[in-house]
Each structure stands twice: as structure tokens, then as C-alpha cells.
A and B are shown apart, each in its own frame.
Chain A
Amino acid sequence: MSLKFFAAALAAAFTLQAHAADLLDTVKARGTLRIAMEGTYPPFNFKDPKTGALAGYDVDVARIVAAKLGLKPEFVSTEWSAILAGLGAGKYDVIVSQVGVNAKREQAFDFSAPYTYSSPQLIVRKNETAKYHSLADLNGKKLGVGQGTVYEQQARALPGITVKSYPAAPEELQDLAFGRIDAALNDSLMVAYLLKSSTLPVKAGARVGETTRMAIPFQKGNPKFKAALDQALAAAAADGSLKQASLRWFGTDVSRPVN
């Protein structure tokens, strides 16, 4: 492999980027929307053990949005730790996997309008006597969070808390039950499901911190795609299909901000 080839490839990559078509044109030409999700985050997106197919709120939302855009959805499941890297490398067009919007992520990607509003919630052991009303009450305690989540960033911002990062919620809850951590922090929408489907001796704690907004990220520099995506989400909100999906999985409408 010669240096010349390498240089040519590099040059080609740059010119491609300079003249890149809007993502909307690319997906329209392809006819499919490539959607990434974790597949291990119930009730948002998970593999149904009986059918082996992806199911959950995110899957429903992705299908609705793809239909409104006139595209065939094509799902890719990948680990959370690599999901944003894959979007950056153009392995898929969007991520519909409860990606929380924050300033740091907005520097790297563009986001659609939010489609989920939620808040972080603590999970504690059933026999816990201490009362934690806010993250500050956990000063000097050990708090479990998911690796690379917005909750991890929020918890690490408070110096008094010992933050333990877990690859996924089951391991986090197991350690909470064992007493290796004092509390776990996760999405309040996830907490209801966790407590329903897990037999571990844990209970829901206080809701802490501010409202989190989840949206659909895609590569920067695609104004037409953003407009079409926001329009599709607005249409789904207007005709009630977004609300219906939310009611199906959570029993409440999480697609619009509380009050």
C-alpha cells in the first residue's frame, strides 16, 4: 500500500465531506433509514425474548418517524459505549435510543426536537433508612450510574459522591442489592420497569435533578434532514401516534414536557 494511495484516499474523504449531500437526499435515494439502538434498554428498546425482534418505545417512535419520512426503517443494535462513535463514522443515519441532549453532545451532533421528557430517579435498597432528597444528600456515599450516560456526567459534577460506572442496569441493581453501592441513578421511566421485572430487594427513591430531554441525534451539517425530521415528529405528535406509543409502554404521555 503506497503513500500515494493513502494521500488520495484522504483527499477523497475531504472532498466528499466538502460536497456532501444533505442526509435527507442520501436517505431518500437509499430508501431506508438506518437506525441504531442499544437493544438492551427495556422498556425503550430491547430484544423480545420470545420473538427475538426489537421492541419498545424507541422502536415504535423510530417506525413512526421513518414512515412519516417515507423511508423503510433498518435497525442496527450496538453497545452504548460505541453508539455515538458509530454515528460519527456514518455507520447509521440516526440513533433512537434515549440519547439525552446536553451541551457537550450538541457540540458533536445535531439533534431533532425532543421526543421524551423524563427525570433522573434514585433507586435504593428496600430496607434503606436514610432519606436522599437530592444528589447533594449522597455526599460521601457511593452512587451507581450507567457508563457514558448523562447521569454519569451529572453525578461526576458533584465532588463529594463516589461514582461507580456500570455497563448496564442489571449489574448496577445487583450491586445495589449486595450493598456495594448506596443508591443507583437512572431514568425515572426505566425505574418503573426495573422494579416491575426484577426480583431484587430494591425500591424507587426520590426524583433528583432537572428534566432530561431525549432526542434523535444525527451528523452535523444536514439542515434539510433536521427540518424533515422535526416535521415528522410534529406530525406524529399532532395525529396522536406518538402519544399512543408512549401510553402503550409507560401509561403516560412522555412525549411532551410535564406541565
Chain B
Amino acid sequence: MELVDLLREAAPVMLTGAMYTLLFAVAAMVGGLALGFPAAVMRMSRWAAVRWPAAVYVSAMRGTPLLVQLFVIYYGLPSVGIEFTPVTAGVLALSLNAGAYLSESIRGAIQAIGQGQWRASFSLGLGYWQTLSFVVLPQALRVAVPSMSNTLISLIKDTSLVSVITMTELMLATKEVIAVTFRPLPLYVAAAGIYWILSLAFEHLQRVLERRLNRAHR
């Protein structure tokens, strides 16, 4: 079985790459969520001075290719004296990008919660932040989870772009094996399989989360 030998030979390199992929994806998910929540809240602010920077951020990140963002952060910023390691630059670019998409999912979900919830909460004497965190967000998250999962799962695959900033993640590791074996098809399919397995794990997480957030609605 020549194919089995090929895959066995490729496995150590590709699995190391997959580990980096997973590491980048998880770090960027955390970073993206940390950026997405404040950006969503800022975009709904009463004051233009708060709304405006968040709107520019979301527009710029969604409107430019992730590849260009990676290039600018890693290769462009050193010319103005800001230098990152490849790992930092990769996580930063992926987080900034995912944060913009996530903030829109979150904003949409918060706005889907009826104004009556806010008014009722205010009339009970709760402030803005209390209402947001104890009344609106728990309901909004339930609405937001499916579309946030979309962003987070595509983030797993977007990590393949960090190969341009010297990181040997799954995709570049696969290309390295292909370069010496000249067997693109089976190896690309194997890489796709690994991406799918990683995505399945996050889909499972999504289901658990949805079930949990749905408890009040059964």
C-alpha cells in the first residue's frame, strides 16, 4: 500500500502543523471575542465619537483581504518601528479580522432583543451596563451563537494564511511534504480531512453551547 506509506511518512510533519493551526485558531478566537464585544457595544453608542472608531475598524477589517492585513502587520509595521514575532503578528491579524465579523453578529443579536426588555429593566432600577450584561446579553448570545460559530469555524481555515509570515502551520507543512513527494492530491485531501476534524470539534462545542443557552426556552 503505497498510499498508506505516503500518509504515514507525512503524518508527523502534518500533525505538528495541525497543532500550530489549532493554536492559532484558539488564540485568535479568544482575541476575536475580546475585540468583538466592545466593538459591538461601541457601535451602538449614543455618541458619534465612540461609534465612529468602531465603525471604521469593522469596515476596514471586513473590506480588506486578510492576506494584506497579515502582510502589513508583519512586514509593513517594522518600517515605523513596531515589530512583532510571527506568532504575535499572526494571532493579532486573525483576532482583528475575526473580531470585526464577530462584532456584527453580536450587534445584530443585541438589537434583536426587544426594546421592551431595556425599558422594563430600567424601570426596575437597573443601569445601562447592568441591563446589558444581566438582561440583554444572555438572551442575545442565544441568537448570536450560530452566526458567531460561522466566523469561528472559518477562522480555523483562515489560519492557513499565516504561512506567508514564516509559520509552518498545517497548510505549509502539507506543501513541504508535497514538494518532496510530488503527490499533491492525496496530501491536500488529507489536510482537508484534518481541517474538517478540527471544525467538527468546534461544531460540537457550538451544539453544547446552544443547548445550554436554550434551557430557558424548552
The docked-state distance in angstroms from the alpha carbon of A169 to that of B183 is 11
Q: Which of B79-100 contact A (CB under 8 A)?
A: 79-82
* B179/A41 in contact, CB under 8 A: yes
Find B166's partner among A77, A169, A174, A194 (CB 8 Å cutoff): A77
Interface residues on B, range: 20 to 34
Find A79's partner among B82, B172, B180, B182 (CB 8 Å cutoff): B172
Residues of B within 8 A of A36 (CB): 166
Given A13-B80, A76-B166, A49 and B178 contact (CB-CB distance below 8 Å):
no
* A47/B164 in contact, CB under 8 A: no
* B176/A47 in contact, CB under 8 A: yes
**A91 to chain B: closest CB distance in Å?**
7
> Which of these binds chain A: B70-78, B135-143, B201-209?
B70-78
* A49/B81 in contact, CB under 8 A: no
The docked-state distance in angstroms from the alpha carbon of A197 to that of B175 is 16
The docked-state distance in angstroms from the alpha carbon of A42 to that of B176 is 10
**B97 to chain A: closest CB distance in Å?**
18
**A40 to chain B: closest CB distance in Å?**
4
Given A82-B164, A89-B76, A171 and B176 contact (CB-CB distance below 8 Å):
no
* B76/A49 in contact, CB under 8 A: no
The docked-state distance in angstroms from the alpha carbon of A33 to that of B185 is 37
Q: Is A168's beta carbon under 8 Å from chain B?
A: yes
Residue of A nearest to B79 (CB): A13
**A157 to chain B: closest CB distance in Å?**
27
* A10/B179 in contact, CB under 8 A: no
Main secondary structure of the interface of A (DSSP, over half): mixed
The docked-state distance in angstroms from the alpha carbon of A86 to that of B80 is 15
Find A197's partner among B13, B82, B166, B180 (CB 8 Å cutoff): B180
* A81/B164 in contact, CB under 8 A: yes
* B75/A82 in contact, CB under 8 A: yes
* A86/B179 in contact, CB under 8 A: no
Residues of B within 8 A of A42 (CB): 179-180
Residues of A within 8 A of B75 (CB): 82, 85-86, 88-89, 91
Given A52-B13, A82-B71, A9 and B176 contact (CB-CB distance below 8 Å):
no
Q: Which of A145-173 contact B (CB under 8 A)?
A: 167-171, 173
Find B179's partner among A40, A85, A199, A200 (CB 8 Å cutoff): A40
Given A78-B166, A81-B164, A90 and B182 contact (CB-CB distance below 8 Å):
no
Residues of A within 8 A of B (CB-CB), count: 41
Given A39-B176, A89-B76, A173 and B164 contact (CB-CB distance below 8 Å):
no
Residues of A within 8 A of B79 (CB): 13, 89
Q: Is B38's beta carbon under 8 Å from chain A?
A: no
The docked-state distance in angstroms from the alpha carbon of A39 to that of B165 is 14
Residues of A within 8 A of B177 (CB): 47, 49
* B82/A9 in contact, CB under 8 A: yes
Residues of A within 8 A of B181 (CB): 49, 197
Residues of B within 8 A of A168 (CB): 175, 178-179
Q: Is A16's beta carbon under 8 Å from chain B?
A: yes
7 tightest A-B CB contacts, nearest first: A40-B179, A198-B182, A78-B166, A9-B81, A13-B81, A89-B75, A82-B164
**Can you list 27 A-B contacts with CB-CB less than 8 angstroms, sorted by A residue number?**
A9-B80, A10-B81, A40-B178, A42-B179, A47-B177, A47-B179, A48-B180, A49-B180, A49-B181, A52-B13, A79-B172, A82-B75, A82-B166, A85-B71, A85-B75, A86-B75, A86-B166, A89-B74, A89-B75, A89-B78, A89-B79, A169-B179, A169-B182, A170-B179, A170-B183, A173-B182, A198-B182
